[in-house]
Amino acid sequence: MWIILAISASAVWGLTYVLSEQIYKKISVITSLSLATFISGFVMLFVAYATGNLVRDFATLSTDKRILGLSIAEATCLMIAELLIGFSIVNKNATLAGLIEISYPFFIALFAYLLFKETQFSFGTVIGGVLIFTGILIIYRLNP
Protein backbone atom coordinates (compact mmCIF):
# COMPACT_ATOMS: atom_id res chain seq x y z
CA MET A 1 0.00 0.00 0.00
CA TRP A 2 2.85 2.42 0.80
CA ILE A 3 4.07 2.26 -2.81
CA ILE A 4 0.63 3.26 -4.15
CA LEU A 5 0.49 6.15 -1.68
CA ALA A 6 4.01 7.27 -2.60
CA ILE A 7 3.35 7.13 -6.36
CA SER A 8 0.05 8.94 -5.84
CA ALA A 9 1.85 11.64 -3.87
CA SER A 10 4.37 11.94 -6.68
CA ALA A 11 1.58 12.37 -9.23
CA VAL A 12 -0.11 15.06 -7.13
CA TRP A 13 3.23 16.84 -6.62
CA GLY A 14 3.69 16.77 -10.40
CA LEU A 15 0.26 18.33 -10.89
CA THR A 16 1.09 20.93 -8.23
CA TYR A 17 4.26 21.93 -10.08
CA VAL A 18 2.42 22.31 -13.39
CA LEU A 19 -0.27 24.44 -11.74
CA SER A 20 2.36 26.47 -9.87
CA GLU A 21 4.27 27.24 -13.04
CA GLN A 22 1.14 28.73 -14.59
CA ILE A 23 0.20 30.65 -11.43
CA TYR A 24 3.72 32.11 -11.03
CA LYS A 25 3.40 33.67 -14.48
CA LYS A 26 0.72 35.99 -13.05
CA ILE A 27 1.30 36.27 -9.30
CA SER A 28 4.33 36.04 -7.05
CA VAL A 29 5.61 32.85 -5.48
CA ILE A 30 5.16 34.41 -2.04
CA THR A 31 1.50 35.38 -2.58
CA SER A 32 0.70 32.02 -4.15
CA LEU A 33 2.32 30.08 -1.31
CA SER A 34 0.64 32.31 1.28
CA LEU A 35 -2.75 31.55 -0.21
CA ALA A 36 -2.02 27.81 -0.52
CA THR A 37 -0.71 27.67 3.05
CA PHE A 38 -3.74 29.50 4.41
CA ILE A 39 -6.18 27.19 2.62
CA SER A 40 -4.30 23.98 3.45
CA GLY A 41 -3.79 25.08 7.06
CA PHE A 42 -7.48 25.77 7.52
CA VAL A 43 -8.50 22.47 5.89
CA MET A 44 -5.94 20.42 7.86
CA LEU A 45 -6.96 22.01 11.18
CA PHE A 46 -10.56 21.08 10.41
CA VAL A 47 -9.56 17.51 9.48
CA ALA A 48 -7.40 17.18 12.61
CA TYR A 49 -10.31 18.37 14.74
CA ALA A 50 -12.86 16.16 12.96
CA THR A 51 -10.68 13.05 13.35
CA GLY A 52 -10.03 13.73 17.04
CA ASN A 53 -6.30 14.30 16.57
CA LEU A 54 -6.13 18.03 17.23
CA VAL A 55 -6.69 18.04 21.00
CA ARG A 56 -4.46 15.01 21.60
CA ASP A 57 -1.69 16.37 19.39
CA PHE A 58 -1.77 19.83 20.99
CA ALA A 59 -1.50 18.10 24.38
CA THR A 60 1.59 16.26 23.14
CA LEU A 61 3.09 19.45 21.72
CA SER A 62 2.54 21.28 25.01
CA THR A 63 4.28 18.57 27.06
CA ASP A 64 6.97 17.26 24.70
CA LYS A 65 9.37 20.10 23.92
CA ARG A 66 11.44 17.91 21.58
CA ILE A 67 8.43 17.19 19.36
CA LEU A 68 7.44 20.87 19.52
CA GLY A 69 10.93 21.88 18.40
CA LEU A 70 10.97 19.28 15.63
CA SER A 71 7.52 20.47 14.48
CA ILE A 72 8.69 24.08 14.32
CA ALA A 73 11.83 23.01 12.44
CA GLU A 74 9.74 20.93 10.02
CA ALA A 75 7.38 23.85 9.32
CA THR A 76 10.33 26.19 8.78
CA CYS A 77 12.06 23.74 6.43
CA LEU A 78 8.81 23.16 4.52
CA MET A 79 8.35 26.90 4.04
CA ILE A 80 11.94 27.38 2.86
CA ALA A 81 11.74 24.35 0.52
CA GLU A 82 8.48 25.61 -0.99
CA LEU A 83 10.01 29.04 -1.59
CA LEU A 84 13.17 27.57 -3.11
CA ILE A 85 11.32 25.27 -5.51
CA GLY A 86 8.90 28.06 -6.40
CA PHE A 87 11.73 30.40 -7.35
CA SER A 88 13.45 27.55 -9.20
CA ILE A 89 10.29 27.01 -11.25
CA VAL A 90 10.11 30.74 -12.01
CA ASN A 91 13.76 30.83 -13.07
CA LYS A 92 13.63 27.74 -15.31
CA ASN A 93 10.50 25.57 -15.51
CA ALA A 94 8.54 23.05 -13.48
CA THR A 95 9.90 19.96 -15.24
CA LEU A 96 13.58 20.78 -14.81
CA ALA A 97 13.09 22.06 -11.26
CA GLY A 98 11.25 18.85 -10.38
CA LEU A 99 13.85 16.63 -12.01
CA ILE A 100 16.60 18.28 -9.98
CA GLU A 101 14.55 18.27 -6.78
CA ILE A 102 14.12 14.50 -7.09
CA SER A 103 17.55 14.21 -5.44
CA TYR A 104 15.94 14.81 -2.05
CA PRO A 105 15.85 11.09 -1.06
CA PHE A 106 19.64 11.22 -0.83
CA PHE A 107 19.32 14.13 1.60
CA ILE A 108 16.68 12.24 3.59
CA ALA A 109 19.15 9.43 4.22
CA LEU A 110 21.96 11.89 4.93
CA PHE A 111 19.96 13.98 7.43
CA ALA A 112 18.46 10.88 9.08
CA TYR A 113 22.01 9.81 9.83
CA LEU A 114 23.41 13.23 10.76
CA LEU A 115 20.51 14.29 12.98
CA PHE A 116 19.22 11.02 14.43
CA LYS A 117 22.00 8.48 13.80
CA GLU A 118 19.57 6.37 11.75
CA THR A 119 21.22 4.46 8.94
CA GLN A 120 18.90 4.51 5.95
CA PHE A 121 21.64 3.99 3.39
CA SER A 122 21.75 0.63 1.67
CA PHE A 123 23.38 -0.64 -1.48
CA GLY A 124 20.18 0.23 -3.35
CA THR A 125 19.97 3.79 -1.98
CA VAL A 126 23.62 4.45 -2.83
CA ILE A 127 23.21 3.16 -6.40
CA GLY A 128 19.94 5.08 -6.75
CA GLY A 129 21.62 8.22 -5.44
CA VAL A 130 24.48 7.87 -7.91
CA LEU A 131 21.98 7.45 -10.75
CA ILE A 132 19.95 10.46 -9.60
CA PHE A 133 23.00 12.71 -9.38
CA THR A 134 24.24 11.43 -12.75
CA GLY A 135 20.82 12.37 -14.14
CA ILE A 136 21.05 15.83 -12.56
CA LEU A 137 24.44 16.36 -14.18
CA ILE A 138 23.06 15.32 -17.57
CA ILE A 139 20.01 17.58 -17.17
CA TYR A 140 22.17 20.53 -16.12
CA ARG A 141 24.67 20.09 -18.95
CA LEU A 142 22.09 19.58 -21.70
CA ASN A 143 19.62 22.31 -20.62
CA PRO A 144 21.41 25.68 -20.55
Q: What DSSP element (H or E) covers 65?
A: helix 65-91
pTM of the model: 0.84
CA dihedral 91, 93, 94, 95 (to 10 degrees): -140
109 and 87 share one domain: no
Same domain as 73, residue 11: yes
pLDDT tens per residue, range 89-133: 999 999 999 988 988 888 888 899 999 999 988 898 889 889 988
Same domain, 16 and 59: yes
Q: Is residue 97 part of a domain?
A: no
Which residues form the domain of 72?
2-92
- Give the confidence band of 136 by pLDDT, cuts at 50, 70, 90: confident
| 43/16 same-domain check | yes
Evaluate whether residue 138 is within a structural domain: yes
The alpha carbon of 9 is separated from its chain's Cα centroid by a whole number of angstroms, namely 11
pLDDT tens for 1-31 read: 988 998 899 999 999 999 999 999 999 999 9
Asked whether the beta carbons of 106 and 129 are under 8 A apart, the reply is yes
Domain count, the chain: 2
Please give the Cα distance from 89 to 96 (Å, whole number): 8
Pair 87, 121 in one domain: no
* Same-domain status, 75 and 123: no
Contacts of 88 (CB under 8 A, 6+ apart): 97, 100, 101
Measured CA to CA, the distance from residue 101 to residue 112 in angstroms comes to: 18
- DSSP annotation string for 120-138: ---HHHHHHHHHHHHHHHH
